[in-house]
Structure 1
């Protein structure tokens, strides 16, 4: 008996479901208060208990066949899904997918209406790449799911089948199974999106885009097609039309607009992202997150006054919200964690905006509000930047070096921050040396090597710059920035222009739509004498990202085409954003233009 008791404890997970079976109702008596408590009956009789214990013992001994058969026999007699599930688990733990499929088949024969059995069968068949074993349970699962829940299930199917090694076959099977549901109004859009997502997982982005378009046509207001198109946008620019079509409908899903804005930001299309975020704030003036993102973009575009206004609105919204969380007798409500993080981020950005405006005392006031230990290094970096802007570069560097290193990557971040201070102070050589020390401590770090290459260019050490950038490309062949920087540097010196174009085109393939890369391509066309194409590309880049250097290039092409007034307007806009920009100043000086 003691041994049996120990096994009962060890196998509690296998028998708890049965032990907790509901009691059989007792007949009521005339006096319920005095009635004896009726005995409960359980399906777990002594014989069944013995069988389950033996099954678990066999499983522990590695006798999976015997263990599975014992569990299946008990499951059939009790019709208990937990025991069927345990039989499948034992088979999978023994790495026997075929035995697991047989166990699921027994489960389905005993309980034909079990959706759990169908899902389990699909997952196992997908993991085994058994496409012939997927189609039937998939059809059965769809058929047994209530109509009102079917679209939600269809949306989950690509993820359910993603474990299939042959993704193309998975997409083909899913397309065949969902074909009838594409003909039904309630499931048409969901089915097309699901098949499109399966093709995207298989790498056939054109097929995925075709399905997204078809789904959007079936139900323009449903967000699924737009969300799929957003995933395709980095590699298929035409997918953006699907997103825009959804956002053009009444009552478009706000989450789609925010996701679209994020995609535009990732593509460095900041001006387009601003348009979407401004629209989001108009549609939902009570929503705070769009304001935080909009403020960040305005800072990035060097519009500090607009950013501070936007961030002020964000904080006002947070202050007007009722705080959430538990309350105690002696303390107020605990702030929502997301709101607290957003507030901290807003304070840091307000400090950055004040710094850009030269309001250093105000910037320090905003920084003083941040008490999050996780942001301590960021606060110190901003304080160091304030000191450097006030001519106290040595104090700024000392402050950074004294900052505690709480996380593993903090030492690297401190070196990058120090190099940034020196870069802002135009001490290219010192920045190069700091980055060189960083590379010694963190060898083969692509970001550090890239930054060092940029300093080498500033110092006129073009051979060193090229060596470092090629090292970055060797370490990280998909680094679009390194390809672009090397191609642009060659073009800017008028050297090896065909190679420069090839490098920049490779960068654009890696990061489609990136305005800085499009700017480089436009500059190469200008160097090659293709002024019309250069103008087209640079207009496109400047419209997406009105950056000072892009503006300098666009202005020069306009100047070369004789459009002097327009060139002056673009240069004036750029000068208003950053009058000290080296590229802009050099361009104006070389062309003898005064603004």
Structure 2
């Protein structure tokens, strides 16, 4: 479907199409007899007809001048104009772009450039602008258009050359955009920096030039110089808003947020309808005063009621401040406007979860598309389904995801298996891993997951077999070495083997708290209590965890320090009140009274 003209920028003056087409049609009607040459006699060898018409620029500025075009060109341009009137912009562009190349006419190239820019046809716009600037090197508009297109294409050095040419011709090139692009894409070379500095010296009263240089100074962290320049602009032109906006950024860069907020607060009171100022003010307030930020975003939404970005910002603030009804209304508005739909569905899903409406939450989560919230939505939605026991629905969802994203097949299998494991369905999870391995037979992650499931199901031999297979492929996998070594600690006859595996893992990953915990535990089982305590305290410091606490407490108890052991176990229970490991250890060690005491404490 062709785009409605109201949704496009005004850089392409299609409002002139009807007028220009009427002029063309009038010219054709009035001059058909006088200007269409009669066919030449066959003996003269002339076989075509030509029609004389005016180029676009000539037609607008000096109707008396005329340029001869072949009649095919004339009719092609006429078709382009009619297509423009009918909003068939792609046809208009194709005809003008082709004829610009054929005729090398500046007016045709200019019109092709404007149409291409209107349609965001970047490649055509760049080529047409280059042709236009070549044909009319002294035309400021041509140089300006080429500067803009070169900037968008990332050809910044060349863009700056044409920007300088535009300035010389009295035009106003988009130097701030050029500087911002260079900074964002890390293309601000030393040569570009020097050029911006030179331009600022040559055009000290041109705000656009000076502000672009300020952006360069900001990137160089030369804040004092930058601030002096923007404040000088504000003294000359108090109503110039780019300068104070840039000043607010400079103040924030220096950690002077309160000064920036005060500056913007004053400007917003002077220019209440300037949404750029209010938006920057609202953004800064988010970290300082969420209530006031919400008020500012509410005013912005009132000014621009269909701006999805503003609606989403306000909705998120309402969501974070538990204004559920207002947030719901705003997210629903985004769905109505068909803007930020995935984000709206994600947060509406979260609201439904809080309300206990799991079916509605799942419905919203399933409508979240690829993006920053996609995996989280899938995780939350499938976990809800698992909690409801709807494993078949979950499987269908994951099957759909694997078909939709075949390159992520392994990832979605692992997600599904983990959800099944956490929901107490290890047997179904194992079936799904076996299914996954049929098409991902070399996946180490799937094989490791299968090993853990075998362990959970009590299949010790299969657990060890999978880990041994993994070690054959990668003997320096510290995670696998540690997992196998830790498992072998259970068998007293294999303690020496367990120690060797864990030692090797610790050599490979000396800072991993899980491996340090394993080393402490094997030292304990070997009767080396002092070494065991050292390792387990180190592990607990790196990763406070209830399982490590269970081990450390038992080592302390074995050394006769029951009070220290109880303190460690209590800390572990605070970390995880639902821990089964600590009460089991205490019960095994026949510390019954303490088990009851800790149970009552928690």
Q: Which has the higher contact order (CA 8 A, sep 6+)?
A: 1
TM-score normalized by the length of structure 2: 0.50
Quick check: which has more Rg, 1 or 2? Answer: 2
TM-score normalized by the length of structure 1: 0.50
